[in-house]
């Protein structure tokens, strides 16, 4: 398996592997900056300008930086192994072995963090972290209808709502039968999950 | 027992034992086959046990293997008696028990399928990963929210799982990578890229939009290379550049003004920042000043003026001071605006002025060159003929020199040209060769990747087919087993009915016997009493009484003997059974084999001792 990259990014990668365009020093710097940029959400641009200042070819460095970040992201998306990444760089981007090894080391160090960042880009349903419930009995009411009814108040505490929304409480009331139905459904779901876990 | 043997043999064949077609019961198993079957079963239950499936010729090694198999069985929890003799000198019943125990512990269908499916397709791998992740999540303890940054829980092995936490939607922004081939001239574009284009990570407005933007950039590049977003026009570039220039000049100006203001506070103030500072300073200072003035006033005029007048004057003074400051403030503001305007116009003019100065310098240089030529011409004017002759002589000399140089050039050029042509030819041939090699390499690589793909597909197919085959054969055997079990259950029910019937008969017979015995006892007692009563008076009766007594005792003896005979018959039957079981153990055969093995071992020991001796000598 190998990552699918656009011709624009492939050009950037090829230039990054070319030691006449990108010197070893600049390569190491841009690799480190690439790793920091892609793994730390609160990156600073100070390091970035230091890469291009060390090279007369600022445009190539910027292009290579973009290509490197794209490679990291695409490889992490496909969960590429180090071997396949090295083979890809050697054959498709014509990188020398030393640079391939350096990039593979950097990739190994940051792949899980990139995947963690990738997993944060999605829309998950809220995560239930706590529950409070109470069984209430309606003993008397002003209406003439049935007065001795019992119901359950359930309050789920959730987290993981989209940005800008506070974690909130999900409250609802149901009869005992409905609660039993829900609990049995939850148990069924749990069994299903356990079944998947033991395939 | 035949049925059990058949099931055992079928199961052994499934795990890969090479059992010949003719073998139908455990009695026909050779020692080698027994060891192979046991070793394969143990290997299937505990992969990596390392027990060899074939017996070596050396007797000591054979015993060791037998002992290892027995030990493995004991470790697995086999309760019965087991030792090396169970496998090397097997008797049918023990062997059946051991093999049944091992076959019961063989991995079941689901587990074997899992093993088969492990190295297969990508979907299987994903399924396995999912199950592993869920297992990990289920087995991990609960942790509070603050232990999971963004809902990510890191495990010890470096993997992570997403459990709640906030997440951001996929929002991407257009990125400018800096690759060439755009609307403006390459120089302009390069200059823009080098100086003004920010890094892609700086182009996004929020950090969490970087990864989506990169993914979108790449996907767009792959899917529609021709429909990429239009490159910035030269005009836009210029605009961006001028904006940046402006910003830079502002920055520089403010920096310089700041420096100035801090350096000389008495000089006119020029920047907003410095003005603000000064205003604050004045505001802070003014109350103190006022206080001082008031104090002075109070000290000098306290005697003459009343308190009210003093208050009025004080207010007036304050108002005056405020108005003055306001005026000063307005003036300063105007001045700032004026200066900013000047600065803008000047910064706009700056590139134009620079350009103009460049042009002026160039024209100046041209004029200087022209002037030098003219001066030389003027120097030559006084003696025209001589100078003309001199010039002609110089021209001739220079033409001759030129001709000489041209011939020399030609001389050198011809061989060099030839050399160059040769080199070019060589180079082109080399280039073509390298291109051919590269082409061949590419073709080979493509072939290799194709073949790898094919092999992977075939392997996948193979494993799939194997799994299917295993399932199919197992299904068959399962139905066959079920049928056989149902038959056996039917037979057993029939047998049970028969046994019940026999038991009922036996009970009835017992009852009859008991009632007959009771009747006999009672008739005997009655006869005994009647005859005994008559025996006192009559001789015949006395004889009859004696005969009755002897008859009774002899009959009871007879009955006892019949009972003893029955017991003996039962005992003999038991003994026969025992003989049969003992003979089934093949003790004599095993004894013979053991004695033969012992002899062999003795021989081996003797040969080893001899070898030891020879080595010692």
**A116 lies in the same domain as A18:** yes
B220 CB neighbours in chain A (<8 A) are: 6
Least confident residue range of A163-172, B19-28, B410-419 = A163-172
> Which distant-in-sequence residues (6+ apart) come within 8 Å of B294 by Cβ?
B314
- For residue A34, give the 3-state DSSP assignment: helix
A116-124 mean pLDDT: 86
Place of tokens 């062997």: B95
**B560 falls in which pLDDT band (50, 70, 90)?**
very high
For residues A143 and A103, membership in a common domain is answered with no
Q: In this predicted model, which residue has the larger pLDDT, A20 or B494?
A: B494
Gap between the Cα atoms of B489 and B483, Å rounded: 10
The model's pLDDT over B199-235, given as tens digits with 9 standing for 90+, comes to 888 888 888 888 999 999 999 888 865 554 555 555 5
Instruction: Decide if A2 is inside a domain.
Output: no
Residue A100 lies in a domain: yes
HSE-CB at A159 with a 13 A cutoff on CA atoms is: 15
In this prediction, residue A196 carries a pLDDT of 85
The verdict on A44 and A132 lying in the same domain is no
pLDDT at B143 over 50: yes
Mean pLDDT of B148-170: 82
The interface pTM score, or ipTM, of the predicted complex is 0.86
**Does the beta-carbon distance from A69 to B221 stay under 8 Å?**
no
Residues linked to residue A152 through DSSP beta bridges, in sequence order: A135, A174
Q: Which of B187-191, B493-497, B521-525, B601-605 has the lowest mean pLDDT?
A: B187-191
Q: Where residue B117 falls among pLDDT bands split at 50, 70, 90?
A: very low
Do A113 and A133 belong together in one domain?
no
**So what's the pLDDT on residue A47?**
65
A195: β partners:
none
B305 burial (CB, 10 Å; 0-12 / 13-18 / 19+) is middle
Q: How many domains does chain A have?
A: 2
pLDDT tens, position by position, B412-427? 999 999 999 999 999 9
Is the CB of residue B138 less than 8 Å from the CB of residue B161?
A: no
Chain B's closest residue to A126, CA to CA, is: B164
- Give the pair of three-digit tokens for residue B614: 């020879």
B444 interfaces chain A, CB cutoff of 8 Å: no
At residue A197 the predicted structure's pLDDT band, cuts being 50, 70 and 90, is confident
Rounded mean pLDDT, B464-473: 79
End-to-end CA distance of chain A: 25
User: Does residue A129 sit at the B interface (CB-CB below 8 Å)?
Assistant: yes
Q: Beta-strand (E) ranges in B26-182?
A: 152-154, 160-162
What average pLDDT does this structure show over B144-155?
82
Residue carrying structure tokens 């640079």: A99
Higher pLDDT, B253 or B54: B54
Instruction: Indicate whether B444 pLDDT > 90.
Output: yes
pLDDT at B273 over 70: no
| B144 vs B512: which has the higher pLDDT | B512
pLDDT at residue B479 above 80?
no
Give me the residue from A5, A37, A62 closest to B193, CB to CB.
A62
Same domain, yes or no: A105 and A179: no
Q: Is B237 exposed, middle or buried (0-12, 13-18, 19+ CB in 10 A)?
A: buried
Q: How many interface pairs between A and B have CB atoms less than 8 angstroms apart?
A: 167
From the centroid of its chain, how far is CA A57? 33
* B138 contacts A197? CB cut-off 8 A: yes
How many of the other CB atoms lie within 10 Å of CB of B328? 13
How many angstroms separate the most distant Cα atoms in chain B?
215
* Cβ B336 vs Cβ B268: under 8 Å: no
Interval B19-38 mean pLDDT: 84
Chain A residues touching B446 at Cβ < 8 A:
none
Residue A16: how many CA atoms within 13 Å on its side-chain side? Answer: 35
Q: Is B194 on the interface with A (CB under 8 A)?
A: yes
- CA-wise closest residue to A71 among B218, B159, B242: B218
In sign, the C-alpha dihedral spanning B363, B367, B369, B370 is positive
**CA-CA distance, A166 to B275, in Å (whole number)?**
44
Strands across the sheet containing A169-175: A127-138, A149-159, A169-175
Which of A70, A80, A193 should we substitute to test contact with B (largest number of B Cβ atoms within 10 Å)?
A70
Residue of B nearest to A128 (CA): B164
φ, ψ dihedrals at A170, nearest 5°? -105, 115
Residues B343-387: pLDDT tens digits? Answer: 999 988 998 999 999 999 999 999 999 999 999 888 888 788 888
pLDDT of B263: 43
Asked if residue A135 has pLDDT above 60, the reply is yes
Q: Which is higher by pLDDT, B182 or A133?
A: A133
Q: Among the listed ranges A114-123, B102-111, B528-537, B592-601, which one has the minimum average pLDDT value?
A: B102-111
Instruction: Give yes or no for A36 touching B (CB within 8 A).
Output: no
B179 touches chain A (CB under 8 A): yes
Task: Using the 3D structure, point to which of A103, A121, A139 is the last residue of a domain.
Answer: A121
pLDDT at B197: 83
Share of chain B above pLDDT 70, in %: 82
Whole-number percent of chain B with pLDDT over 90 = 31
- Chain center to CA of B64: 41
Phi, psi of A171 (to 5 degrees): -115, 140
Q: What are phi and psi of B149, to 5 degrees?
A: -70, 125
Q: Does B70 touch chain A (CB under 8 A)?
A: no
Distance, in Å, from the CA atom of A25 to the CA atom of B6, rounded to the nearest integer, reads 74
* Integer Cα distance of B184 and A135 in angstroms: 74
**B164: which DSSP letter?**
S
Q: Which pLDDT score, from 0 to 100, does residue B362 have?
A: 94
Question: Any idea which of A187-196, B183-192, B389-398, B486-495 has the lowest mean pLDDT?
Answer: B183-192
pLDDT number for residue B27: 80
The predicted model gives B145-161 an average pLDDT of 82
Residue A60's domain comprises: 7-121
| B578 or B166, greater pLDDT | B578
The answer to whether residues A116 and A133 belong to one domain is no
**Alpha helices, DSSP H only, in B302-383?**
307-380
User: d(Cα A35, Cα B485) in Å, to the nearest integer?
Assistant: 66
Residue that is written with structure tokens 């876990």 in the block = A197
- Tell me whether B155 touches chain A (CB under 8 Å): no
The pLDDT value given to residue A54: 56
A98 falls within a domain: yes
Sequential DSSP letters for A73-103: HHHHHHT--HHHHHHHHHHHS---HHHHHHH
Interface contact B303, partner A, CB < 8 A: no
Within 217-256 of B, beta carbons closer than 8 Å to A belong to 217-222, 225
Q: Alpha-carbon distance B445 to B454, whole Å?
A: 14
Q: Return the pLDDT at B298.
A: 47
In the prediction, which pLDDT does B145 show? Answer: 78
Average pLDDT over chain A reads 84
B169 touches chain A (CB under 8 A): yes
CB contact under 8 A, A70 and B127: no
Does residue B567 carry a pLDDT above 90?
yes
The span from the CA of B232 to the CA of A189, in Å, is: 54
Q: In A, residues 51-110, which contact B (CB 8 Å cutoff)?
A: 52, 57-59, 62-63, 65-67, 69-70, 73-74, 77, 91
Q: In degrees rounded to 5, what are phi and psi of residue B140?
A: -80, 145
Per-residue pLDDT reduced to its tens digit, B393-415: 999 999 999 999 999 999 999 99
H-helix or E-strand containing A132?
strand A127-138
Burial A126-163 (b: 16+ CB within 10 A, else e): bbebeeeeeeeeeeeeeeeeeeeeeebeeebebbbbee
User: Hey, are the CB atoms on A120 and B151 less than 8 Å from each other?
Assistant: yes
Res B529 pLDDT > 60: yes
Helices B186-195 and A58-78, interaxial angle, to 10°? 70
The pLDDT value given to residue A53: 64
Q: Is the pLDDT of residue B246 over 50?
A: yes
Q: Is the pLDDT of residue B116 over 90?
A: no
Using a pLDDT cut of 70, give the percent of chain A over it: 86
pTM of the predicted protein model: 0.42
Q: At what angle do helices B210-223 and A24-39 cross, to 10 degrees?
A: 110
**Residues listed for chain A:** 199
Could you tell me which residue, B470 or B36, shows the higher pLDDT? B36
On chain B, the residues whose CB falls within 8 A of the CB of A161 are: 166
Q: A39 CB near a chain B CB, below 8 Å?
A: no
Enumerate residues 6+ apart whose C-beta is below 8 A from B69: B35, B38, B39, B42, B51, B84, B87
Residues A163 and A69 grouped into a single domain: no
The answer as to whether A66 is a domain residue is yes
Mean pLDDT of the B429-444 span: 93
Answer left, alpha or beta for residue B17, where phi above 0 means left and psi between -120 and 50 means alpha. Answer: beta
Mean pLDDT of chain B: 81
Choose the most confident range, by mean pLDDT, from A88-92, B75-79, B126-130, B337-341.
B337-341
For residue B191, is pLDDT > 90? no
pLDDT higher than 50, residue A166: yes
Per-residue pLDDT at B293 exceeds 50: no
Residue B79 exposure: Cα atoms within 13 Å on the Cβ side:
0
Reduced to 3 states (helix: H, G, I; strand: E, B; else coil), residue A139 is coil
């Amino acid at each position: 398996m190998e990552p699918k990259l656009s011709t624009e990014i492939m050009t950037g990668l090829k230039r990054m592997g070319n030691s006449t365009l990108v010197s070893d020093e600049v390569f190491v710097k841009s690799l480190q900056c690439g790793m920091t940029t892609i793994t730390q959400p609160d990156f600073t641009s100070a390091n970035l300008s230091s890469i291009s200042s060390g090279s007369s070819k600022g445009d190539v460095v910027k292009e290579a930086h973009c290509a490197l970040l794209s490679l990291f992201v695409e490889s992490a998306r496909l969960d590429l192994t180090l071997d396949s990444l090295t083979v890809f760089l050697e054959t498709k981007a014509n990188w020398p072995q030393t640079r391939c090894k350096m990039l593979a080391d950097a990739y190994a160090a940051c792949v899980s963090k990139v995947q963690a960042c990738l997993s944060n880009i999605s829309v998950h349903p809220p995560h239930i972290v706590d529950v409070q419930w109470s069984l209430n009995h309606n003993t008397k009411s002003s209406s003439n209808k049935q007065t001795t009814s019992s119901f359950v108040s359930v309050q789920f505490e959730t987290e993981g709502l989209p940005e800008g929304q506070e974690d909130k409480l999900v409250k609802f009331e149901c009869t005992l039968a409905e609660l039993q139905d829900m609990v049995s459904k939850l148990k069924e779901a749990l069994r299903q999950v356990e079944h998947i876990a033991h395939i | 027992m035949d049925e059990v043997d058949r099931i055992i043999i079928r199961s052994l064949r499934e795990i890969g034992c090479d059992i010949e077609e003719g073998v139908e019961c455990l009695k026909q198993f050779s020692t080698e086959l027994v060891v192979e079957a046991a070793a394969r079963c143990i290997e299937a239950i505990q992969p990596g046990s390392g027990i060899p499936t074939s017996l070596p010729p050396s007797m000591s090694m054979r015993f060791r293997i037998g002992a290892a198999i027995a030990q493995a069985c004991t470790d697995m929890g086999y309760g019965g008696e087991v030792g090396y003799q169970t496998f090397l000198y097997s008797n049918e019943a023990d062997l059946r028990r051991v093999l049944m125990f091992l076959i019961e512990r063989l991995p079941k269908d689901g587990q074997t399928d899992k093993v088969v499916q492990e190295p297969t397709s990508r979907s299987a791998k994903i399924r396995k990963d999912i199950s592993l992740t869920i297992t990990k999540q289920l087995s991990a303890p609960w942790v509070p929210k603050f232990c999971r940054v963004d809902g990510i829980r890191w495990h010890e092995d470096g993997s992570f799982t997403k459990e709640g936490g906030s997440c951001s939607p996929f929002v991407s922004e257009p990125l400018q990578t800096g690759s060439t081939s755009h609307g403006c001239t390459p120089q302009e574009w390069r200059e823009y890229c080098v100086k003004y284009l920010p890094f892609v990570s700086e182009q996004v407005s929020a950090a969490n939009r970087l990864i989506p933007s990169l993914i979108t950039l790449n996907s767009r590049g792959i899917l529609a290379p021709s429909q990429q977003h239009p490159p910035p026009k030269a005009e836009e570039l210029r605009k961006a550049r001028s904006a940046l220039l402006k910003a830079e000049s502002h920055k520089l100006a403010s920096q310089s003004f700041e420096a100035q203001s801090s350096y000389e506070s008495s000089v006119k103030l020029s920047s907003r920042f410095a003005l603000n500072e000064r205003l604050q300073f004045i505001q802070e200072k003014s109350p103190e000043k006022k206080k001082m003035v008031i104090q002075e006033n109070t000290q000098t005029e306290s005697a003459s003026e009343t308190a009210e007048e003093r208050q009025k004057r004080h207010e007036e003074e304050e108002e005056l001071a405020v108005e003055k400051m306001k005026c000063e403030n307005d003036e300063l503001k105007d001045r700032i605006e004026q200066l900013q305007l000047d600065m803008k116009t000047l910064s706009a003019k700056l590139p134009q002025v620079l350009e103009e100065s460049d042009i002026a310098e160039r024209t100046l240089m041209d004029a200087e060159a022209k002037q030098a030529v003219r001066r030389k011409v003027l120097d030559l004017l006084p003696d025209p003929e001589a100078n003309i002759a001199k010039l002609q002589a110089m021209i001739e000399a220079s033409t001759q020199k030129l001709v000489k140089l041209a011939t020399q050039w030609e001389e050198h050029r011809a061989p060099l040209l030839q050399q160059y042509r040769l080199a070019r030819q060589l180079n082109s041939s080399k280039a073509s060769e390298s291109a051919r090699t590269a082409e061949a390499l590419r073709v080979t690589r493509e072939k290799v990747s194709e073949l790898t793909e094919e092999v992977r597909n075939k392997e996948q197919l193979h494993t799939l087919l194997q799994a299917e085959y295993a399932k199919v054969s197992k299904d068959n055997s399962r139905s066959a087993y079920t049928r056989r079990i149902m038959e056996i259950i039917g037979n057993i029910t029939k047998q049970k009915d028969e046994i019940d019937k026999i038991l009922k008969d036996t009970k009835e017979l017992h009852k009859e016997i008991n009632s007959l015995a009771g009747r006999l006892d009672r008739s005997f007692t009655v006869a005994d009493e009647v005859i005994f009563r008559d025996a006192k008076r009559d001789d015949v009766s006395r004889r009859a009484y004696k005969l009755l007594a002897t008859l009774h005792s002899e009959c009871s003896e007879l009955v006892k003997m019949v009972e003893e005979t029955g017991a003996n018959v039962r005992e003999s039957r038991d003994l026969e059974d025992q003989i049969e079981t003992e003979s089934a153990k093949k003790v004599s055969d095993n004894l013979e084999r053991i004695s033969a093995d012992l002899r062999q071992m003795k021989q081996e020991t003797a040969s080893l001792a001899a070898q030891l001796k020879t080595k010692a000598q």
